[in-house]
């Protein structure tokens, strides 16, 4: 597995305690955002969404773009974390990709989303990795 390299100041980590697959979405239980990017970001709205672009990682599995919508209802800040209520990840392509695991995480690259260039970028480059920040390489084997 390949170690992830996102500049620290732009790294935002999405982690969860449990993931449940339901049709075209994953329900992320006890989801939270953490990492250096959180302290450099604007305050997260209570009910909102962002679109995550996984195309670079999943192109081997899906023949076109793989963009998933991360949405939530409710945000609670604690030291170094933002806990997301009713958090889901939804995409019509979810049925074609390996299931997320309870101990996986999504790394979100905020580089293109600083205030002066955020309006030019509609999606957040993202990757799925294990809890040690190693990238899943789908060319070697598929996740179960």
Q: What are the boundaries of each domain within the chain? A: 2-135
Question: Is residue 102's pLDDT more than 90?
Answer: yes
Lowest mean pLDDT segment, chosen from 28-32, 40-44, 87-91, 99-103? 40-44
Question: Is residue 118's pLDDT more than 70?
Answer: no
Residue 47 structure tokens: 């009910």
Q: If pLDDT is split at 50, 70 and 90, which confidence band does 76 have?
A: very high
Residue that wins the pLDDT comparison between 59 and 16: 16
61 DSSP assignment: T
> How many CB atoms within 10 Å of residue 88?
20
Taking phi first (over 0 means left), then psi (-120 to 50 degrees means alpha), and beta for anything else, what does residue 80 get?
left
């Amino acid at each position: 597995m390949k170690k992830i390299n996102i500049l620290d100041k732009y790294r935002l980590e999405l982690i969860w305690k449990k993931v449940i697959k339901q049709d075209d979405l994953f329900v992320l239980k006890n989801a939270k955002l953490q990492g250096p990017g959180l302290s450099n970001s604007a305050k997260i709205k209570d009910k909102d969404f962002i679109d995550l672009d996984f195309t670079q990682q999943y192109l081997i599995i899906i023949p076109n773009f793989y963009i998933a919508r991360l949405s939530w209802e409710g945000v609670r800040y604690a030291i170094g974390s933002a806990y997301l209520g009713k958090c889901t990840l939804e995409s019509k392509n979810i049925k074609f990709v390996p299931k997320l695991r309870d101990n996986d995480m999504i790394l979100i690259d905020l580089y293109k989303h600083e205030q002066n260039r955020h309006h030019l970028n509609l999606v957040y480059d993202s990757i799925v990795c294990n809890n040690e920040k190693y990238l899943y390489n789908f060319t070697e084997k598929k996740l179960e």
